[in-house]
Amino acid sequence: MSSSEDTIDAKPAGGVRARVRAELTAEIKASARRQLAVEGASALSLRAIARELGMASSAIYRYFASRDELLTALIIDAYIDVADQIDAADAACERSDRRGRFVAIAHALRSWAVTNPNEYALIYGTPVPGYAAPSDTVDPAARVPTALLTVLVESEIAEDRAPDASHLGEALAELLAFTDHTVPAAVMARAVEAWAELFGLISLELFGHFHKSVTDPEAFFAHAASSIAERLLP
């Protein structure tokens, strides 16, 4: 989190060299993202990026130590990007309108996915074989589920009206601890179900399984999102 270097507006501003370097780093990532769209993550090629940028393939190594490091940067960027969109959508809502916030978050998620299908596939689709996500990706990855959970936590669902959720306490222990046990297990279970349904809807749509069945995925998603909200936040 040494982002202080980037935001300082002092005279040298990190120097001309640093600025040019940041720009080229961004260009490399942009070119890589364009490649994702055509070939998919596992076909991401440093040489193809260098070709598009008109530079020697070896020059990429001044910016990323390896192909995997580039992939990691793309993954982290994608997580940050969705999370930012989601947080913005949430922030635009009346704080007390929890259903509205949930629906807004859901729509922000789908919008981002439809606009950036390759980034979506990168982080929520089949993991790239042979690639092990480093721990840097964990925090950004947690922001989306956290945003969904926060809506829950801020609503005061003290009562546990769902039946027999005690047996889930163990399966969801980590999550319950994460919210300091302010959310009862049965409610948490419904939240995880909602989370799964949202991602299921988006994945089925983007990966082609709604072809010839759900012909208007956007309309259907809108319906599903509000019906989940009703179920989740009574």
Partner interacting with residue 171 (select from DNA, a second copy, none; CB below 5-8 Å by kind): a second copy
Question: Cβ of residue 70: shortest distance to DNA, in angstroms?
Answer: 8
Instruction: Summarize as ranges the residues that interact with DNA (CB under 7 A).
Output: 12, 15-17, 20-21, 24, 44-48, 54-63, 66-68
Show contacts of 106-112: CB within 8 Å, 24+ apart: 106/198, 106/221, 106/225, 106/228, 106/229, 107/221, 107/222, 107/225, 109/82, 109/85, 109/144, 109/198, 109/202, 110/198, 110/201, 110/202, 110/218, 110/221, 111/85, 112/81, 112/82, 112/85, 112/86
- In one-letter notation, the amino acid at residue 158 is A
Question: Cβ of residue 42: shortest distance to a second copy, in angstroms?
Answer: 4
3-class secondary-structure state, position 183: coil
Tokens of residue 153, six digits: 């936590």
Whichever of 73 and 168 has its CB closer to a second copy, that residue is 168
CB atoms within 10 A of CB 106: 25
Please give the Cα distance from 139 to 76 (Å, whole number).
9
Partner interacting with residue 109 (select from a second copy, DNA, none; CB below 5-8 Å by kind): none
Question: Cβ of residue 105: shortest distance to DNA, in angstroms?
Answer: 35
Partner interacting with residue 92 (select from a second copy, DNA, none; CB below 5-8 Å by kind): none
Partner interacting with residue 169 (select from DNA, a second copy, none; CB below 5-8 Å by kind): none
Residue pointed to by tokens 């929520």: 124
Partner interacting with residue 40 (select from a second copy, DNA, none; CB below 5-8 Å by kind): a second copy
Instruction: Summarize as ranges the residues that interact with a second copy (CB under 8 A).
Output: 38-43, 121, 124-130, 133, 138, 141, 145, 165, 167-168, 170-175, 178, 189, 192-193, 195-201, 203-204, 207-209, 212-217, 219-220, 223-224, 227-228, 231
Question: Cβ of residue 1: shortest distance to DNA, in angstroms?
Answer: 21
Whichever of 46 and 202 has its CB closer to DNA, that residue is 46
First to last CA, the chain: 39
